[in-house]
Chains A and B, each alone.
Chain A
């Protein structure tokens, strides 16, 4: 890619979070709550450094902006280094920027948790892992980051390890992520076998050398991406991962980690551009995930699970975008999504915190007055995720959907439009049910420090949410107008293609998108926010949960199918090995060895009898053998 600029703060961006993690890990018990300062600073400093790089990059008008730093060469083809090009810059910016806000928010959210230093150590470690992933200039470094991210998410999902559900969820996430890691490893094997290098620059310069293996390389890379980005059918870990603390859900399962798959596909665009079938596969999976996530979002009552399915759905959009070849659109959706999804999660966190860890929206309601900041910020974010014109999500979602049409995938375009309508519906359902009407739960409104805990000042949690809410509105304006920073940044990153003319112009698709979305909002309003609906809210919600179609409640039976396909056979295999193979065959072999050596020893033991004269006899016998040998040899000679 020919990026050879230098950026002295690259190491700061990369390593300061690690330092923060190490300090918090090592001195957590001594630091106690001051760990929050170190932890936040360890993300804030890289954020400032990244911001400076962003400024430099958007100002420059050169051919390719970015910085490259060689670290070391292991052996021919294995060069490790750091790369900061527009793509990784965007990711680093979101990771550190949104990450910093979430860290600041966590100060308030985790204030009363005794393991707060451990929490911040994990969070810093996660940011470090994610930065390793996006800053690597080669596939192996990316895989290292990929694995570390999985590890960090395991730590964080299982942070409350005294909850068996959380531990199970952590394990599930880890196992599915490892499936992806192994797939990526196979892709790297293939690339190295055919091209002989692992750096992005070399691999992308010799895509042709992959010839017959191109599709399989793409497929394995995408399996990795799908596992990390919760694409069908490897998505089942994401909703379960909501067992972690809410900031974790915001950081990992909304803003950064799950978008690693988008990053991977966008990073490897030369591979995808070369393989049409791979594009079709990824685009289709992305579209299906978007639709499935949206449909499942309808059926959920847990506020964080709704958001989890919306994440899955929105990442489906991104994957669809980068899959069909609209890379810039997919990345743009990642950029805006990070803000409004983090805002939604953190707002939901405020609500949950307010209601003493209640997560069921059926027992919420009327939160508008009790959490005004969350209300306003989440309103902006809900509009943004629905794609309401003028809000951040509008610009990017529009780009993605139109990109599908532009690149000749009308079916995916249709899926995108429909999903946008469903998204508007279920997000406003969440919004109306949570914030409107009257409170339906049983937590005392004046529940002040229930367990005599101290609380951090409320603004620590409110401020990040407000900032994210503002960005949910304005983030999209970075990519419109004439010559916006966004286009300047990506002018030389992705290929510009000559696309065939499309049947309807972008203005028309925007209009269609708006109509469908408005219909979704209207249905949600009619069902949940009319005065009649609000008045009978408890009864109506109960009725709705009773009549929910089983296929949605059972999450399209994905878990059941996976259970049936993998878990049950594994258990059967385990029983087979455990009850027969191991005790009889393996142990039998071992026991046989023992018996054999015992028998052998009994024979040999006969000679080791401690009797001097029998030893002498053995010596004589040996000497006799020699004598006989030489005598015979003499005879022959």
Chain B
């Protein structure tokens, strides 16, 4: 297990680095796909079976597809990303410095504080990893639809708002006009079309 964890850790960090260093966004997407895949394996190892599946389906399947789609959309008629703006900017040095400092602090904190485990939190230890027990679909679904029903519904609402927002933002833009006026315009266009048809 330990060896698996370290192997996954190395792969995760490597794929993440690839994501942020790749020249082309498509390569980044590929890196991200690999990253999510390794992450799903890690989730499995943490007994989070349902979320591992979700990770693959939603993230890899849906969100990354969205990225690919947008890349395809923007690549047409736009200067190639490769000639684009990816020189190392001035803020790279301070950013790296800050990241290094923060990492240092995190490492320091980890080495100092022994992290408490389940027993000390009084959670009943039970079977792990099989159906009907911790991390399974049934376990997760039970928690989601009883205790956490309201957050779940709010999630649905958030998604709906996001969908509406996306439609408004990226949709084919007709400048807003009052409905009645628009109806008149449509009516006029139709009448003209009919007249034209009659002439022909």
Contacts and interface: CB of A to CB of B under 8 A. Distances in A.
- In this complex, the member of B102, B108, B112 whose beta carbon has the largest number of chain A beta carbons within 10 angstroms is B102
Nearest to B91: A617
Given A624-B102, A627-B102, A617 B95 contact: yes
Report the contact-size class of chain B (Cβ under 8 Å from the partner): 10 to 19
A631 B109 CA distance: 7
A542 interface: no
Contacts of A627: 102, 105-106
Contacts of A613: 89, 91
Interface residues of A, number: 12
B98 interface: yes
B94 A617 contact: yes
A323 B34 CA distance: 110
A613 B91 CA distance: 9
Contacts of A617: 91, 94-95, 98
Interface string B94-106: 1100100110011
Interface string A406-450: 000000000000000000000000000000000000000000000
Nearest to B89: A613
A634 B112 contact: yes
Contact of B108 (A621, A623, A624, A631): A631
Nearest to B101: A624
Nearest to B99: A620
Given A628-B105, A631-B108, A631-B109, A614 B98 contact: no
A627 B107 CA distance: 12
B113 interface: yes
Contacts of B98: 617, 620-621, 624
A631 B106 CA distance: 8
Nearest to A613: B91
Interface string A613-637: 1100100110110011001001100
- In this complex, the member of A621, A631, A635 whose beta carbon has the largest number of chain B beta carbons within 10 angstroms is A631
Nearest to B113: A634
Contacts of A624: 98, 101-102
A620 B113 contact: no
Interface of B: 89, 91, 94-95, 98, 101-102, 105-106, 108-109, 112-113
Given A617-B95, A627-B106, A635-B112, 9 more contacts: A613-B91, A614-B91, A624-B102, A627-B102, A628-B101, A631-B108, A634-B109, A634-B112, A634-B113
Q: Which 9 A-B pairs have the closest CB atoms?
A: A631-B105, A624-B98, A624-B102, A627-B105, A617-B91, A627-B102, A620-B98, A631-B109, A617-B95
11 contacts: A613-B91, A620-B98, A624-B101, A624-B102, A627-B102, A627-B106, A628-B105, A631-B109, A634-B109, A634-B112, A635-B112
